[in-house]
Amino acid sequence: MTSPEVNDAAVVLKLEDVVKTFPGVRALDGVQLEVRAGEVHCLLGQNGAGKSTLIKVLSGVHRPDEGRIEWLGGEFKPANPQSAMKAGIATIYQELDLVDDLSVAENAFLGHEPRRFGFVRRGYMSRHTRKILTRLGHGEIPPGRMVRSLPAAGKQVVSMARALSHDAKLIIMDEPSAVLAHDEVGNLFRIIRDLTSNGIAVIYISHRLEEIREIGDRVTVLKDGRTTAANLPARTTPTRDLVSRMTGRTIEYVFPEQSTQDRGEELLRVDGLGRTGEFADISLTVHSGEIVGIAGLVGSGRSELLETIFGARRPESGTVTVAGKALRPGSVGAAVRAGLGMAPEERKSQALLLGEPIYRNVTLATFTGYARGGFTNAGKEIAEASRIADALELRPRDVRKPVRTLSGGNQQKVVVGRWLLGDTKLLLLDEPTRGVDVGARAELYQVIRDLAARGVGVLLVSSEVPEVLGLADRVLVMREGRVVREAPAGELDEDTVLDLVMAGSLQAEEVTL
């Protein structure tokens, strides 16, 4: 239950009837929101409901068309992100907005570098960054390291460090846990509690209801740009209520039936695959019609393994065999020709052409197949992309819109949808449901199951253990670059997997989930 202090705490932020339109879309259509000092206020809503737009209005990225925002008792009209930060509102955006070629410290203090006599105080900046990183449980990240060389989760930590480097009274977090592993989420929650106990308010966005139950005080639900419910108690409101207010219907959050059919012939065989510092001596097989899940922490070498199988990295030892034929190492082209497809971990930097229309992003791996004599077939591409858009409930449905106008979860559907076209025989999925809402997630699971039923082999990496257990037929658990357990999904449960994943990990005792 909400603590009494929060109940009485002053309202710091109040939004009334906020409207924001983009060409052809009313992204916000009358939003009410009220946030108190020292509370964790959760925003819930489907993909495209307007959550990110709302926080971009608060952080000065977008200017609202109508409505009123009150911040600390006065009217608030931030002209740009800098002025919102100066007013005490710090934001962690859904899509990482770090500068790849600057160091961790430079990114953390970007735009507000500590200066003396006009010179940046590099030493101070670096010390302070280290302090924040340690507080975040990541003292091991060197402040001088280039951000480009960090894995996705590391980048997420840096953008959190950036938010904490401000003297903020409100911190907005747009799906911060989407890139974080289980134990990291525990860390994040510890920091959030620390912040709120100092009277700092937090707006927290996530599609995972169990997180909202754990960390949230109150919930505001958005649907189609409107507030459909405000200030519900985060812990006690029944899930059915939350989901029906989000979606307007009731969705059972269940995994589709595990297939009963026997698995087909062997599609993929990986033998003794290794890369120094990433993973070592990995052997695995995937059969036609089988879904194999890989569980493990971020940094356990899962993504690197997938990329190596796909030819995006060159193995230092070991072989990859697809349908009995050895795959040329280090060649994505050869992998794609052999029928492999991969939805990579980072959608923005690894998968999307943001300025291009949705359909061209969906058909990026298949447009050559639709072409005749080198001429592209836009009609066919649009038709195929629309089919995928329907299957994955993409919003908006008009596939000629540029991908950059899509919400985060919808962009993710585009990344996965790309490999549902064409005749992919083996699908490598790296965090396929990152940022996808509860309803669309169920659709996506069904689509993956259907593919397997048609004989496609799937190798799935996910930080969400229930997802791996619920979707996969067979599960591999990875730790520190090695497979520590392989078993049919039915023989494992969440606790066993978590124990395996974290055995020997220093942060194990800090896990609060």
Partner 1 sequence: MTTTQTAAPPANEKPAETRSWWRDDASEPLRRNLALFAVLILLIIIGIATRPDLYSDSTWVRNNIFTILELASVIGVVTVGMTFVIIGGGIDLSVGAIVALAGVWSTTLATQSYGAGGMIFCALAVGIGVGVVNGILIAYGRLVAFIATLAILVAARGLAAQISGKQTQVSTNTFINDIAANDLLGIPLLVYILAAVVAAGWVLLNRTTFGRRTVAVGGNVEAARLAGINVKRHTLLLYALSGLCCGIAAIMLTSQATSAQAAMANLYELDAIAAAIIGGTLLSGGRGTIIGSLLGVIVFATITNLFAINNLSTEVQNMVKGGIIVAAVLVQQFRYKSLSQLFNRA
Ligand X SMILES: Nc1ncnc2c1ncn2[C@@H]1O[C@H](COP(=O)(O)OP(=O)(O)OP(=O)(O)O)[C@@H](O)[C@H]1O
Would you tell me which residues interact with Mg ion (CB under 5 A)? Answer: 52, 94, 407-408
Classify strands 279-287 and 266-275 as parallel, antiparallel or unpaired: antiparallel
From 333, 379, 454, 495, residue interacting with partner 1 (rule: CB under 8 A) = 333
Q: Which stretch binds partner 1 (CB under 8 A): 141-149, 282-290, 352-360, 470-478?
A: 352-360
Q: How distant, in Å, are the alpha carbons of 119, 220, 258, 274, 447 from that of 251?
A: 57, 19, 19, 42, 16
**Residue 51 in contact with ligand X, rule: CB under 6 A:** yes
Q: What is the CA radius of gyration of the chain?
A: 23
Q: How distant, in Å, are the alpha carbons of 171, 205, 226 from that of 43?
A: 13, 5, 12
Beta carbons of 242 and 49 less than 8 angstroms apart: no
Q: How many residues bind partner 1 (CB under 8 A)?
A: 64
- Whole-angstrom Cα distance, residue 406 to residue 396? 8
Q: Which residue is nearest to ligand X (CB)?
A: 409
Instruction: Convert 152-198 into a string of H (helix), E (strand) and C (coil).
Output: HHHHHHHHHHHHHCCCCCEEEEECHHHHCCHHHHHHHHHHHHHHHHC
Nearer to partner 1, 76 or 359 (CB): 359
**Residue 204 in contact with partner 1, rule: CB under 8 A:** no
DSSP H helices, 21-121, are 51-58, 81-86, 104-108
**Residue 94 in contact with ligand X, rule: CB under 6 A:** yes
- Whole-angstrom Cα distance, residue 327 to residue 340? 11
Q: Which stretch binds ligand X (CB under 6 A): 44-52, 78-86, 284-292, 301-309?
A: 44-52
Contact string (CB under 8 A) for partner 1, positions 22-61, x = contact:
-xxxx--x--x-------------------x---x----x
What is the dihedral sign for C-alpha 57, 63, 68, 73?
Answer: positive
From 68, 127, 328, 404, residue interacting with partner 1 (rule: CB under 8 A) = 404
From 103, 187, 231, 300, residue interacting with partner 1 (rule: CB under 8 A) = 231
Contact string (CB under 8 A) for partner 1, positions 84-123, x = contact:
---------xxx-x--------------------------
Q: How many residues bind ligand X (CB under 6 A)?
A: 22
From 258, 405, 446, 496, residue interacting with ligand X (rule: CB under 6 A) = 405
Rounded to a whole number of angstroms, the minimum distance from the CB of residue 513 to ligand X is: 22
- Whole-angstrom Cα distance, residue 27 to residue 37? 27
From 355, 379, 454, 495, residue interacting with partner 1 (rule: CB under 8 A) = 355
From 87, 120, 153, 364, residue interacting with partner 1 (rule: CB under 8 A) = 364
**Residue 310 in contact with partner 1, rule: CB under 8 A:** yes
- Whole-angstrom Cα distance, residue 406 to residue 394? 9
**Residue 22 in contact with ligand X, rule: CB under 6 A:** yes
**Residue 301 in contact with ligand X, rule: CB under 6 A:** no
Q: How distant, in Å, are the alpha carbons of 357, 360, 399, 421 from that of 382?
A: 10, 8, 7, 12
**Angle, in degrees to the nearest 10, between helices 152-164 and 182-197:** 0
- The angle subtended at Cα 153 by Cα 148 and Cα 155, nearest 5°, is 35
Other Cβ atoms within 10 Å of 405 Cβ, number: 16
Nearer to ligand X, 50 or 439 (CB): 50
From 3, 134, 198, 368, residue interacting with partner 1 (rule: CB under 8 A) = 368
From 41, 51, 62, 441, residue interacting with partner 1 (rule: CB under 8 A) = 62
Rounded to a whole number of angstroms, the minimum distance from the CB of residue 412 to partner 1 is: 14
**Residue 379 in contact with partner 1, rule: CB under 8 A:** no
Q: Which stretch binds ligand X (CB under 6 A): 51-59, 249-257, 270-278, 367-375?
A: 51-59
Closest Cα partner for 206 from 507, 494, 433, 443?
433
From 220, 237, 410, 463, residue interacting with ligand X (rule: CB under 6 A) = 410
**What separation, in Å, do the N-terminal and C-terminal C-alpha atoms of the chain show?**
17
Contacts with partner 1 in 161-200 (CB under 8 A)?
174
